């Protein structure tokens, strides 16, 4: 009897489960971009300047049950690719988040990171060429796990299994599915955080026939392997990422490789310089296709307003010369 009374007393003193908030949380960001081409290929003709709305994204995130919810992200700046994130999630599995629906594929550091948090305006060549499928997002399943370990260490992993057809496409063109994943470790010491990750991917992509170029439709099998390291400190942020891959269009695998190294300084005035060096060889056996770019710039965060000003000077050093570019934007987060 005493045990029963004690159990009832403990149950009465235990905190009640947090109520489910059915009202979604609204957030997002907008980026207005000014871009100007600078003649760098020797043809005497530079691109004209352009001002446009690069992104205007609104995110809805809410719960339907305790530990079960949804995320819905749209981009008002591009009606052709209006829906970005659209998935249900659950955190009922300890230390995990399971996602079902359209989401970012998990590979490396730069691509899964939100554009509003990056220190550069344009993602690296290797991120566009090897660290994604036809887009950053695809339809499928995602599983993200994270553990905090003793002595300020941590481990994490993220896997996405997707249909490979890209965003806003329900039916895949091939029966094979694509797998993207990253496993990593972290260490935190005061205001310093260091992260190390290894990524891998395997799958295929369908390419439609191009009547202008005269190329037939084909399926490309691909594999990827990447390594990323980043450090975030009170004085600077730095990231290095390298990716190797193969692309097989039916005549045997062709190798590709690339990397970037980024450093952004931090100051007490919420501004700092930016430097990125990158290279991407689209086909290791083909001459003349090595892309190089050197990005110099600066950023300024306007506090307490959640706004950022950024300027990037992109200097081309590719084997086949391309134009340089001066790119800037104003970003507002809400």
End-to-end CA distance of the chain: 56
Q: Which residues contact 19 (CB under 8 A, 6 or more apart)?
A: none
Query: So where are the chain's domains?
Result: 89-333
* pLDDT for position 1: 40
* pLDDT tens by residue, 117-171: 999 999 999 999 999 998 999 999 999 999 999 999 999 999 999 999 999 887 7
Q: Which residues of the chain have pLDDT under 50?
A: 1-18
* pLDDT for position 273: 98
* pLDDT tens by residue, 219-240: 999 999 999 999 999 999 999 9
Is-contact 76 52, C-beta < 8 A? Answer: no
pTM: 0.88
Question: How many whole angstroms separate alpha carbon 165 and alpha carbon 24?
Answer: 29
* pLDDT for position 11: 35
Cis peptide before 304 (omega within 30 of 0): yes
Question: How many whole angstroms separate alpha carbon 288 and alpha carbon 298?
Answer: 31
Q: Which residues contact 35 (CB under 8 A, 6 or more apart)?
A: 49, 50, 51, 52, 325, 326, 327, 328
Chain position carrying tokens 């990323």: 228
Chain position carrying tokens 């001459």: 287
Name the CATH superfamily, with its identifier, for domain 89-333: Porin (2.40.160.10)
Please give, one letter per residue, the 3-state secondary structure of 251-274: CCEEEEEEEEEEEEECCCCCEEEE
Question: How many whole angstroms separate alpha carbon 284 and alpha carbon 108?
Answer: 21
Backbone angles phi, psi at 228, to 5 degrees: -135, 145
């Amino acid at each position: 009897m005493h045990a029963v009374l004690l159990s009832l007393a403990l149950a009465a003193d235990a905190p009640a489960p947090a109520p489910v908030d059915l009202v979604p949380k609204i957030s997002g960001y907008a980026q207005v971009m000014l871009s100007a081409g600078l003649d760098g290929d020797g043809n005497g003709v530079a691109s004209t300047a352009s001002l446009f709305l690069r992104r205007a994204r609104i995110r809805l995130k809410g719960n339907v049950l305790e530990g079960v919810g949804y995320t819905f992200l749209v981009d008002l700046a591009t009606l052709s690719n209006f829906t970005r994130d659209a998935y249900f999630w659950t955190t009922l599995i300890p230390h995990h988040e399971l996602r079902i629906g359209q989401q970012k594929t998990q590979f490396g550091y730069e691509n899964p990171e939100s554009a509003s948090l990056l220190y550069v305006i344009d993602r690296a060549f290797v991120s566009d060429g090897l660290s994604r499928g036809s887009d950053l997002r695809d339809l499928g399943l995602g599983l993200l796990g994270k553990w905090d370990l003793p002595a300020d260490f941590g481990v994490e992993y993220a896997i996405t299994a997707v249909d490979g057809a890209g965003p806003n496409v329900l039916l895949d063109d091939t029966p094979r599915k694509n797998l993207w994943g990253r496993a990593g470790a972290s260490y935190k010491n005061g205001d310093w955080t260091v992260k190390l990750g290894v990524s891998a991917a395997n799958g295929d992509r369908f390419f439609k026939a191009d009547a202008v170029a005269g190329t037939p439709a084909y399926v490309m099998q691909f594999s990827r392997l990447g390594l990323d390291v980043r450090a975030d400190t009170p004085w600077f942020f730095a990231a290095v990422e390298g990716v190797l891959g193969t692309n097989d269009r039916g005549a045997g695998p062709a190798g590709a490789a690339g990397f970037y190294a980024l450093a952004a300084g931090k100051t007490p005035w919420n501004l700092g310089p930016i430097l990125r060096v990158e290279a991407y060889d689209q086909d290791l056996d083909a001459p003349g296709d090595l892309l190089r770019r050197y990005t110099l710039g600066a950023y300024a965060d306007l506090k307490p307003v959640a706004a950022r000003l950024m300027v990037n000077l992109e200097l081309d050093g590719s084997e086949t010369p391309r134009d340089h570019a001066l790119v800037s934007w104003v970003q507002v987060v809400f």
